[in-house]
A = this chain, B = another copy of it.
Amino acid sequence: MPTIYEVAALAGVSPATVSRVLNGVNVSPEKARLVRDAAEQLSFTPSRTARSLRMQSSVVIALVIPDIENPFFTAMARGVEDVAQAAGYSVVLCNTDDDPVKEARYLDIAASENMAGIILATAGDQADVDRHTERGRPVVAVDRAPLGVEVDTVLVDNIGGGRAATTALYERGHSIVACITGPADVATARERAAGWEETVRARGGIPGPYLRHADFRVGGGRRAMSELLALPVPPDAVFVANNLMSVGALQVLFENGRATAGIGIASFGDLPFPTLAPIGISIVPLPARRLGETAARMLLERINGDEEPPRTVVLSNER
């Protein structure tokens, strides 16, 4: 791995001049050519580590997500990546597995690696991002808003989506609409359920026994759906608050041969890789990719010196 000193020696100039050539500062054309040739010949790549140390900042962005196996987050990652790459930044993905400890560790890494910024879909409700914001390192929260921290945030309309999905089920003629949502300590889960509950009450229903908290994963959806089916008075429709739990719920319905038995399903977020014949599932679209793109754009603005007070953007539930 050649260094800038070797390039300088080969070109017969000082390392300072090599650096200037590489960074487009004014240098005489002859020296510039000498340097470029030398760099070419040694196939020189500047050490990002050294540069980061000196500049106190790198050109990589950390994207911290709770579940890399959830297509919602990977679609978001694609959005972030496209925008960031176009601006010359690289994106590294950090998978927290919904574990605040792992999350904290990755945030530490991001700080001590001098990363340019962080896009965070936080695992819990609390995230210690002060360390970053205090140092002027921008942080954008996406999908989930950390409590009590003032950072840019990109969200979807969870309550509205919950309402829309539930209303759609009523309008299809269902009368008892249950809800399978995520963990009670996750804000998105609470909000989606709130949209459901509000709608149920408005129609004179009793939400109580028909609300289930699960883990936002396939297995959780399965268990919750089984429980609902086992109720004395089972629901005839279910609003499921994310894509993976919808898969789980549908699996249970299929396995019980009830897929076409009139139990309606509405999913918050597209089903991953749908292969089903359209059996009348309502989908509230979740613009995962746009979420990522928007977050990335906001982060880049901050990196480029935007000092406005923190903003919150709520995307509508369209693809």
Partner among B68, B112, B274 whose Cβ is within 8 Å of the Cβ of A48: B112
Give chain B nearest CB distance to A98 CB in angstroms.
Answer: 13
CB of A5 within 8 A of chain B? Answer: no
Chain B residue contacts of A111, Cβ below 8 A: 1, 45
- Listed A/B pairs (13) with beta-carbon separation below 8 Å: A1-B135, A48-B112, A48-B113, A49-B58, A53-B53, A68-B68, A68-B74, A69-B75, A77-B95, A81-B95, A247-B275, A271-B275, A276-B276
CB of A14 within 8 A of chain B? Answer: no
CB of A164 within 8 A of chain B? Answer: no
Task: Kindly list 5 other residue pairs between chains A and B, CB separation below 8 angstroms, not including A47-B114, A92-B92, A250-B275.
Answer: A1-B135, A90-B94, A92-B93, A92-B94, A93-B93
Report the stretch among A18-26, A30-38, A251-259 that lies at the interface: A251-259
Partner among B53, B77, B254 whose Cβ is within 8 Å of the Cβ of A68: B77
Q: Which of A99-136 contact B (CB under 8 A)?
A: 102, 105-106, 108-109, 111-114, 131, 135
Q: Which of A240-298 contact B (CB under 8 A)?
A: 244, 247, 250-251, 254-255, 257, 259, 271-277
Contact A78 B68 (CB under 8 A): yes
Contact A47 B277 (CB under 8 A): no
Partner among B47, B108, B272 whose Cβ is within 8 Å of the Cβ of A273: B272
CB of A226 within 8 A of chain B? Answer: no
CB of A71 within 8 A of chain B? Answer: yes
Q: Which of A10-61 contact B (CB under 8 A)?
A: 45-50, 52-53, 58, 60
Contact A114 B273 (CB under 8 A): no
Query: With A and B bound together, what is the CA distance between A93 and B50 in angstroms?
Result: 22
A249 nearest in chain B by CB position? B275
Contact B106 A90 (CB under 8 A): yes
Known contacts: A53-B47, A93-B93, A112-B49. The answer to whether A69 contacts B68 by CB under 8 A is no
Chain B residue contacts of A69, Cβ below 8 A: 71, 74-75, 78
CB of A237 within 8 A of chain B? Answer: no
Contact A254 B277 (CB under 8 A): yes
CB of A218 within 8 A of chain B? Answer: yes
Chain B residue contacts of A78, Cβ below 8 A: 68-69, 95
Give chain B nearest CB distance to A264 CB in angstroms.
Answer: 16
Contact A90 B74 (CB under 8 A): no
A60-76 interface mask toward B, CB cutoff 8 Å, 1 = contact, 0 = none? 10000000110100110
Known contacts: A69-B74, A78-B68. The answer to whether A45 contacts B112 by CB under 8 A is yes
